Amino acid sequence: MKLTGAEIICECLLEHGVDTVFGYPGGAALNTYDALYQYSDRITHILTAHEQGASHAADGYARSTGKTGVVLTTSGPGATNIVTGLATANIDSIPLVAITANVTTDQLGRDSFQEVNIVKITKPITKASFLVKRVEDLAPTIRKAFALANHGRKGPVLVDVPKDITALRTEYAPMEPEQPELIQIKNPDCIRRIQKLIENAKRPMIYAGGGILSAGACEEFRAFAELIDAPVCCSLMALGSIPASHRLCVGNIGMHGGYETGMITAKCDLMISCGARFSDRVAGDREKFGEQAKIVQLEIDEKEINKNVTVDEYILGDLRAGLTALTVGLEQQAHPEWLAQIEEWKHHFDNVVPYNDEYLQPQDIINTVNDLKDDDDIIATDVGQHQMWVAQYARIEGQRTLLTSGGMGTMGFGMGAAIGAQVSHPDKHVFLFTGDGSFHMNLNELVTLKSYHLPVIVLVMNNTVLGMVRQWQKLFYGGRFSQTDPHRATDFVKLAEAFGVKGMRVSRDDEMKEAISKAMAMREPVVIDCRISPDDNVLPMIPPGKTITDIVTKMD
């Protein structure tokens, strides 16, 4: 049958099981949006306030479901507004397909109105970017985009479609979507050598990365950790890969991890990295990170092997396959003395955060949510101090229940991510932890919450300053607070009400439980302005490029 390019886009989305897209229309995209009108019974379109919000919403949809997120935009600024969203998805390995419109093919390269070469702009921050110049190539290109987004190390792919291509007709035949190829272990001879390292280890540890969730390998990972009886230290992206309540889960690792995770990396004799990048925020001084230990890396992306830290052994291939292969023939290990030592380290710096009875305590806000939420409810964060407090204190029990910008550290990510999560999980509670700085970057999306009746609970940790940058200025720049005390007069309660959203303000700890309970019962969007101290710091902290011996546990 013959269809227009716009209709082919819709049919290809349906081929790949897409029922929800996020976006914003415009002139060059009108044909596509006209087709979406005809397909509205099968494809739901969520209109955001800004294209960047749409890209983060598609990302949050993908992170919370494991499916591929889809974002649609018009040309020019519509396309460039999703660049940050693509970069965020790319570094965190999130499958995303972006379909952008462009001027007609005869206007390309002429500096036409709202023309931009989005393919060249996005090539460094996507797995691939394509410009479709023939309508006959449209379906194959979209199918290739979905396949690439999910093959190997996942990530975003962009397809740029000129307006005339969406109007032209060509033959279309439905096809079954291409299944991602399972990347088998490329160096199976290493398995027995690594098993020997495990058998000989007295103090093993596992450094868990977001690749565990991306690979859908949480069950295999948990079984492996239990078999080798090794403590699990999670990167920000790995939180939820093993329940926080599991006896082997130690918690967040790196710059704002606990003293115990720093000591584990300094004292282990075997470190097994599973789907992790050895980020600078985890490794600090990469020359000294785990220098006393044998290091093993399980990784699907060959470029990551030995990129940041030199390893002794590695498994290159699908993470589930690698974890399963390591368990075959390996007997149960036991390390009671090592685990007992870790329990002692957990209490080495109790009460690091001083109590200030004039303000809400960040950890108390998070612990209140811990007590009220279900294990499969979802927490999204923006970026800053509140993000690190969530990593330290939130009990992340379920897979894909923490949505946070790990590698890019994108302020403004959280609201879009919460929208994507709530759209895809209408029966779950979705909590957005944000700071007043981050919230000012995405508060326009309150209109999206209201328009689609999305009951996201927004908890603004409001210290009236740019907290994380200010903390660094305090610690490393002699307390010279340059542009981190913006003196904004925004009233978040009135702001919420202006958008038609319920607003609350909490300034005392004894009000917190009642406010959150009320918000959860309402099942409508709520903004809760939580007043915290501008002098609260995220502690402990390992300074950049340093080790556990340089840990900071208090600040004046």
Q: Give the catalytic positions in this structure.
A: 51, 113-114, 163, 468
Give the Cα separation of 80 and 115 in Å (integer).
10
Contact 251, 257 (CB under 8 A): yes
Give the Cα separation of 124 and 116 in Å (integer).
16
547-551: long-range contacts at Cβ-Cβ below 8 A with a sequence spacing of 24 or more? 547/262, 547/266, 547/284, 547/285, 547/288, 547/289, 548/259, 548/262, 548/263, 548/265, 548/266, 549/266, 551/259, 551/262
Question: Token match 């994507």: residue?
Answer: 420
Q: What is the CA radius of gyration of the chain?
A: 24
312 closest CA partner among 298, 322, 325: 298
Question: Torsions phi, psi of 485, nearest 5?
Answer: -125, 80
Give, in order, the Cα–Cα distances in Å from 174 to each of 163, 168, 482: 23, 18, 58
Burial of 63 (0-12, 13-18, 19+ CB in 10 A): buried
CA angle 254, 257, 262 (to 5 degrees): 70
Give the Cα separation of 117 and 401 in Å (integer).
36
Contacts with 532 (C-beta within 8 Å, 6 or more apart), sequence order: 359, 360, 361, 362, 365, 461, 462, 463
Q: Which pair of tokens denotes residue 436?
A: 């007043």
Phi-psi region of 314 (alpha: psi -120 to 50; beta: other; left: phi over 0): beta
Give the Cα separation of 397 and 420 in Å (integer).
20
Instruction: Please name every residue paired with 99 in a beta bridge, in sequence order, or none if there are none.
Output: 72, 159
Give, in order, the Cα–Cα distances in Å from 59 to each of 104, 115, 173, 473: 29, 25, 29, 32
